[in-house]
Amino acid sequence: MEKKSTRLYFIDAMRAWAILMMLQGHFVDSLLDMGFRDNSLEGYNIWKYFRGITAPVFFTVSGFIFTYLLIRVPQKGFDNPRIKKGVKRGLQLLGIGYLLRMNLFGLLQGEIYDSFYLVDVLHCIGLSILGIIGIYLLTQNRKKWLFPMVLASITFLLFLFEPLYKQFTYSFLPDALSNYFTKTNGSVFTIFPWFGYAAFGGFLSLLFTRFKHFRYLYPTAIGAATIIGLSLIFYSSDLFLELSKLTGIQLFADIYFNNYLFIRLGDVFLVFAVFMLFRGLFTHSTLIKIGQSTLSIYVIHFIILYGSFTGLGLYGFFHHSLTPQVVIPSALIFMIVCTYTALLYERHKATLKSNLVSAVGYAWTKVEPLYFNTTKIARTYLGRLLRLFGLVKN
């Protein structure tokens, strides 16, 4: 950690990089013609691999930032002001996640489409924040090592047993709940195993806080992250194969054949190493603001690309129909538009919220008399109707 500031600028830069990668990834994946998705092309494979890094990095950084802020304050337990803020933030993300999947035209027809109940990244991050809060409260009166140990253990167990629980359909639960655990109905993300990355981010933040005054923090962290990352990427699969041969346990063989969780965790370590190595370059105010505006950027990109509320988005008009010559520069424009709009919104957010509150208050002053008069009349006639049928005494 830098001596002049307690702020970890490289974390903001990582979050900014992840949201920009997500913007282009969603845009290209949604609009690129299927005929150009050729796995024999090196460029396409590189793009696809880096696109797969985005979500693990985003979840890990989200867990890192929240836990880092949670443990910075001197208050403990329920006295910690970050608890209230975290619960509010978690519920807010859940609410926005559902709101973005709402279709106003369907509501006007009295119908809620099944896509409304699907779970996406905001739902999972919101629940992850609530989960980290719960673990913090359960362990805060215990030994100091228990909180980080539980977070790391959750990551390991969720990744290790993923081949088992991903087979469950959770048919005994309503779809609105089962969508948090299975992709059967079309959910993009599920809380398991993705909570594992957020929990691991929390674990890393505790390590940074524990050794923040260590003279060689960054050289040690960069070296360790590089070694661990490369080991997970190139050797974790072989390790599980050997464990399967030695023990005969099928679970290890299943991990070997689809070892994306541990490999992506290795990618996360390497991304951390790169951003820590070049941390001195990531102090520009615009980059920091982008990292702090990821929610606004996400909401705006969802509205433009997927047509939240109206169903009128780029996805509906150009779904899998664009050539690389069109989709690549268009993705760059899309990134700029979403980012600029979000930064503009953040700059005027206080004014916009104030105007919205004033508008709602003004509308209520006009509606309030009608509301109370209508309520009074309804109660009068309801009372007469009940007395007429002898359901109440005169």
Residue 390, pLDDT > 90, answer: no
What percentage of the chain exceeds 70 in pLDDT?
89
Q: pLDDT tens for residues 166-183?
A: 999 888 999 999 999 999
Q: pLDDT tens for residues 72-91?
A: 988 888 899 999 999 999 99
Residue 226: phi and psi, rounded to 5, are -65, -45
Cβ neighbours for 130, distance < 8 A, ≥ 6 positions apart:
86, 87, 90, 91
pTM summary value: 0.88
Which single residue is written with the structure tokens 């050539």?
Answer: 323
Cβ neighbours for 208, distance < 8 A, ≥ 6 positions apart:
1, 8, 68, 217, 221
Q: What is the mean pLDDT of residues 45-59?
A: 95
Per-residue pLDDT band for 1 (boundaries 50, 70, 90) equals: very low
In terms of average pLDDT, the best of 111-120, 213-222, 308-317, 365-374 is: 213-222
The reported pLDDT for the residue numbered 312 is 87
Per-residue pLDDT band for 25 (boundaries 50, 70, 90) equals: very high
Residue 32: both structure tokens together: 């690129």
